[in-house]
Structure 1
Amino acid sequence: MADLYVEEFDMINPFVIASSPATQGARNLLKSAAARPGALVLRNFGHGSGGGSYVYPSAKAMFGGSAIHSHAVGTQIKDSISTLEQYCEEVRAIKRNLDKDIKLWVSVGHYSDIVKGGDWEKEWIRQAKELTLAGADAIELHFNTPGVAVAKDRTFQYYQLVAHCTQMIKAAVPSTPVMVKLALESCDVLTSMRYAKAAGATAVGPTARWKGFVFDLDWKTTQARPGSGYGGTQATPIVCYAIAEARTNGIDLPLFAGGGVFSHTQALQILMAGSNCVQIGALACSGGVSAVKNVIRQTEAWMDSNGYPDMKSLTGDALKLFSMDKEVSDYRTACLGNRYKQTQVDAEKCIGCGHCVDVCWQDSLVLEGKVAHKLDSCIGCGYCFQVCPVGALSVDAGKILKDAYEEKNR
């Protein structure tokens, strides 16, 4: 079986159940811990009521690994914790009952504290010290709340805020890891990472969570609250780009990235882009313990089936694609383009729908009767192959690209 141990975080596997209703209070966190992730993040008290989830378009899509996620208008899950003393007791209760090989990260503060004003710095320092004494394995600074980066020009400078708070908490609890969760929204995440690193962050977690406006055309039936934590599987490529950009621009801090993980596929993509761990909060609170268990199990099975014995062999493997030598990249493109050009329409499959003609910008496809026909002027751009609904225009693009890569790297 593949070894999922993550050396950089000393975790049994790379999965982090992020701060969410699934980790709100000892009861919910311990329930989620049955999935056996590498770490769980206890939701910060004072965050406000927990969201009811809105998964679009359906639960079937979510469990199938594809979903948009936001917050719904159902009854919010209230926070029963109102004092730091109560919160620390929750931490102690968790540590007594949590499997010893699972890490407990605890979220400190909230950017709304800063907006409200007052002596928030002193309070954050107090929280970090007391929570460390209560048994937290790490402190998380949660700077990816939707809108936090947007507020930079209204209330504070986001990058300076990240640096200041990281430095402040690191000085308060120097022996405790400080995990800095970062926004992608309305900021340059590479700059954020550099500021956090310079300030002494133990790890950074670029996380996709935007203000969004999700609605049905009959908008009166729509559940989601406008502006409330929009995310989902469509965000994974953006997260992967942020990770890969960091890894190819000198960011060597451990990463715990997240965004859109509703199946093992998205989890693997985030890890292969170069993140050491992957946050899985939305699926945990919307799909429950069994959904998280399945993703962990399926990740392990996929690694076994595809020749990845451990996390070191998996993490960052796709950076070979991100930073591919131009000569190799151009050769792969040429091989695929030539195959597109050479491959003719399968007349027996063609139904004469005309989609291929509509997207041919070289005027190299014509309908002859009810069958499409390619002309010699075809350059092999491939648009027509993408739209054919019946496979009358078809090549095994994946095999062509893989063979070309292996040929160049023999």
Structure 2
Amino acid sequence: MADMHVDCFDMINPFVIASSPATRGADNVIKSSSCKPGAITMRNFGHGMGGGGFFYPSFDAVVKGQPAFHSHAVGKQCPDNIASLDEYCEEVKRARRDMYPDTKLWASVGHYHDIEKYTDWKKRWVTEAKEVVNAGADAIELHFNTPGVATASDRQFNYYQLVESCTKMIKEAVPGTPVMVKLAVEDIDCLTSIRRAVAAGADAVGPTARWKAFYFDLDWQTTQPRPGSGYGGTQACPIVCFEVADARSRGITIPMYAGGGVFSYDQALRYIMAGSEMVQLGALACSGGIKQCARLMKQCSDWMDQNGYSSVKELQGAALKLFNMEDSFAKERQNKLGEAYRLRRVDQEKCIGCGRCEDVCWYKGIALDGKKAQKTDNCIGCGYCFQVCPTKALEVDAAGILKSAFEEK
């Protein structure tokens, strides 16, 4: 069985239940810990309750590992019933006492709205950090990924300066306690944010995709999500993977806990393979449930066993060989597939004469001869026609060809 241990923070596995309704207060932290994640981030003090969530096209799509997005819906919201910092710290103590003992407890400190509401917000954040550490939190998270933080807050201050100054401030307030910095990818340069957090002494960074968005149905009055609310989904995976891989390729060595749109095991594995030590589960936990998190975690472990990965450490960064291909090799690999496209003839028995291949050919490389498609000498091997053929009359083993280039190299 694969070793899921994360050495940098002595975590039993790389999964972090992110700050969300699933981690609001001790009861929810304890409930969430039943899936035995590596860490749980307790939600910020004063964040509120309710609001609901919305999966599109459906939660069934999430369960089946299909493309989906998640947004805040229009369910009732109300003030948090944890009315004071003292009460919040009692919740931290109870959570630490009664949650799964091998799971780390991180506490999310501050909220960017504090900067707009309070002149003494820095003092408040420092006090919160000190008190939650005294109450038993294993680490502090600075949550700079709240939807719209880069847009709304840049109207008042510089995002990168905020990241660096606040990270330094909290590190000085709680020396010896890990400070995790959750970062936006919205409307900012993520690499710059990571570099500023590193410069300030952050112990880990969490590039996380969560955007402001305006989704609506054509019958717009029936639309569930709130306009401008937090938006994320499976489409975030390639974006966050790029930010992680780009940072790793530019010399960033700090531990990462990437997140955003992780609804199925393959997305979680991609984040790790791109170079992140840990993976956040936020929307899946609060809107899908803890059983779905447990299912995803088991599927990741099973996949690693089936594919010969003995540990998370071995898997971490495995795809960077793809990201960092030399240009000459990338061109060689691309041309190898292109030549296979060029040489492959149309399977006349499978061809139904639909004309899709001819419609997407821009080089007169294929034509309909009667009711069947035929390659011509003009074919350059671009591959457009292979993508649209409904019967696989045009087909090559693209995966095998691309993999063989690495094996030959």
Bigger CA drift: 362-371 or 290-299? Answer: 362-371
Aligned to 1:265: 266
Aligned to 1:370: 371
- Report the AA paired with residue 120 of structure 2: D
SS in 1 for 2:206: strand
Q: List per-residue Cα deviations over 1:193-234 (Å, max 9, x = no partner).
A: 000000010100000000011111111111011111110001
Aligned to 1:128: 129
Residue 154 of structure 1, CA deviation: 1.0
Aligned to 1:166: 167
Bigger CA drift: 33-42 or 364-373? Answer: 364-373
Aligned to 1:19: 19
Aligned to 2:206: 205
Question: Partners of 1:25 and 1:41 in 2: how far apart?
Answer: 10
- Report the AA paired with residue 6 of structure 1: V
Question: Partners of 1:50 and 1:121 in 2: how far apart?
Answer: 27
Q: Is the 8 A contact 1:24 1:79 kept in 2?
A: no
Q: Is the 8 A contact 2:56 2:70 kept in 1?
A: yes
**For residues 188 and 234 of structure 1, do their structure 2 counterparts lie closer, same or farther at Cα, with a shift above 3 Å needed?**
same
Residue 322 of structure 1, CA deviation: 0.1
Alignment of 1:9-408 (within 5 A): 9-65=9-65, 66-76=67-77, 78-408=79-409
- Report the AA paired with residue 54 of structure 2: Y
Question: Partners of 1:139 and 1:364 in 2: how far apart?
Answer: 60
Question: Partners of 1:114 and 1:87 in 2: how far apart?
Answer: 20
Q: List per-residue Cα deviations over 1:315-351 (Å, max 9, x = no partner).
A: 0000000001223222211110000001111111112
Residue 153 of structure 1, CA deviation: 3.5
- Report the AA paired with residue 235 of structure 2: Q
Question: Partners of 1:373 and 1:215 in 2: how far apart?
Answer: 44
Unaligned runs of 5+ in 1: none
Aligned to 1:5: 5
TM-score (norm 2): 0.98
Residue 270 of structure 1, CA deviation: 0.4
Q: Is the 8 A contact 1:20 1:50 kept in 2?
A: no
Q: Is the 8 A contact 2:141 2:182 kept in 1?
A: yes
SS in 2 for 1:230: strand
Q: Is the 8 A contact 2:106 2:139 kept in 1?
A: yes
Question: Partners of 1:13 and 1:401 in 2: how far apart?
Answer: 32
Question: Partners of 1:77 and 1:238 in 2: how far apart?
Answer: 33
**For residues 50 and 155 of structure 1, do their structure 2 counterparts lie closer, same or farther at Cα, with a shift above 3 Å needed?**
farther
Q: Is the 8 A contact 1:21 1:77 kept in 2?
A: no
SS in 2 for 1:309: coil
Question: Partners of 1:348 and 1:334 in 2: how far apart?
Answer: 28
Question: Partners of 1:30 and 1:363 in 2: how far apart?
Answer: 64
Q: Is the 8 A contact 1:12 1:37 kept in 2?
A: yes
Q: Is the 8 A contact 2:53 2:73 kept in 1?
A: yes
- Two-structure CA RMSD over aligned residues (Å): 1.1
Bigger CA drift: 213-222 or 105-114? Answer: 213-222
SS in 1 for 2:130: helix
Q: List per-residue Cα deviations over 1:229-268 (Å, max 9, x = no partner).
A: 1100011000000000100111110000001111000000
Residue 353 of structure 1, CA deviation: 1.6
Bigger CA drift: 68-77 or 176-185? Answer: 68-77
Question: Partners of 2:63 and 2:407 in 1: how far apart?
Answer: 35
Question: Partners of 1:78 and 1:15 in 2: how far apart?
Answer: 29
Question: Partners of 1:370 and 1:47 in 2: how far apart?
Answer: 64
How many percent identity over aligned positions? 63
Residue 77 of structure 1, CA deviation: 6.2
Residue 117 of structure 1, CA deviation: 3.2
Unaligned runs of 5+ in 2: none
TM-score (norm 1): 0.98
Bigger CA drift: 274-283 or 65-74? Answer: 65-74
SS in 1 for 2:242: helix
Question: Partners of 1:153 and 1:20 in 2: how far apart?
Answer: 24
Question: Partners of 2:113 and 2:64 in 1: how far apart?
Answer: 35
Question: Partners of 1:67 and 1:101 in 2: how far apart?
Answer: 32
- Report the AA paired with residue 200 of structure 1: G
Bigger CA drift: 222-231 or 321-330? Answer: 321-330
- Report the AA paired with residue 144 of structure 2: F
